[in-house]
Chains A and B, each alone.
Chain A
């Protein structure tokens, strides 16, 4: 499978702290995206970074991409209890379809 792999599988932090999640993949990609899933609900798109980009920001989210290491990171700054969710990376390659990783379960304690 060409899907990305998130690390760690689970992360627990205190409100106000930063949360960092990582995604590694195996083949060259066209782009990489991050999605969020509240428990048992559908996924919601957060941010996309193209293969020729190195960093993108959206509000409290910061995504980096290192194509030489085939990895990406998602940083959530000043986390809130409402950020508690699972976060997935999705890779697009060969101008074909998207593949999702197994996700990181983030818990933000009030």
Chain B
């Protein structure tokens, strides 16, 4: 089954404790992206990647890191989480540049993160 898998789905952590949210897709997609969703603000892009070893900042990259060492994985790293990073996070993937024209992004089920 074609899917985007995120882990963990729920996490409560404390300020400053490094954490990683994993994202994996099994569709051989070149394009992957991370979004955060906050009430009234919709989805805001954090980082995206057009292919292996190619990553770019989105609208709200501060406080986050990503890496793309393999095509299927795109982990989101919070080196020193703060309470303002409490949010619902989504990973998405699409078939390379074609995603800009076909538009079909595939989303994971989300990771709800709370930073105390």
- Contacts A31-B101, A40-B88, A43-B90: A99 and B59 contacting too (C-beta < 8 A)? yes
Count how many pairs of residues, one from A and one from B, have CB atoms less than 8 Å apart in the complex: 66
A22 to B55 alpha-carbon distance, docked (Å): 32
Kindly identify which residue among B44, B100, B107 contacts A95, using a CB–CB cutoff of 8 Å: B100
Q: Are A48 and B104 in contact (CB-based, < 8 A)? A: yes
CB distance from A68 to the nearest CB of B (A): 22
> What string of 1s and 0s marks CB contacts (under 8 Å) between B35-46 and chain A?
100001111110
B58 proximal to A (CB < 8 A): yes
B4 proximal to A (CB < 8 A): yes
Chain A residue at minimum C-beta to C-beta distance from B59: A1
User: CB-CB < 8 A to B4: which residues of A?
Assistant: 42
Interface residues of A toward B: which range? 20 to 34
A90 proximal to B (CB < 8 A): yes
Q: Are B101 and A98 in contact (CB-based, < 8 A)? A: no
Q: Are A42 and B58 in contact (CB-based, < 8 A)? A: no
> What string of 1s and 0s marks CB contacts (under 8 Å) between B8-52 and chain A?
000000000000000000000000010100001111110010000
> What string of 1s and 0s marks CB contacts (under 8 Å) between A6-30 and chain B?
0000000000000000000000001
User: CB-CB < 8 A to B44: which residues of A?
Assistant: 100
Q: Are A97 and B48 in contact (CB-based, < 8 A)? A: yes
> What string of 1s and 0s marks CB contacts (under 8 Å) between B82-116 and chain A?
00000010101000000111111111111010000
Q: Are B40 and A92 in contact (CB-based, < 8 A)? A: no
Q: Are A45 and B105 in contact (CB-based, < 8 A)? A: yes
CB distance from B93 to the nearest CB of A (A): 11
A residues sitting closer than 8 Å to B (CB atoms) are 1, 3, 30-31, 33, 35, 40-45, 48, 50, 88, 90, 92, 95-103
Cross-chain pairs A/B with CB under 8 angstroms, 30 sampled: A1-B59, A31-B100, A31-B101, A31-B103, A40-B88, A40-B110, A40-B112, A41-B109, A41-B110, A42-B90, A42-B107, A43-B43, A48-B104, A88-B43, A90-B103, A92-B103, A97-B48, A97-B100, A98-B45, A98-B99, A98-B103, A98-B105, A99-B45, A100-B35, A100-B42, A100-B44, A100-B45, A102-B40, A102-B41, A103-B42
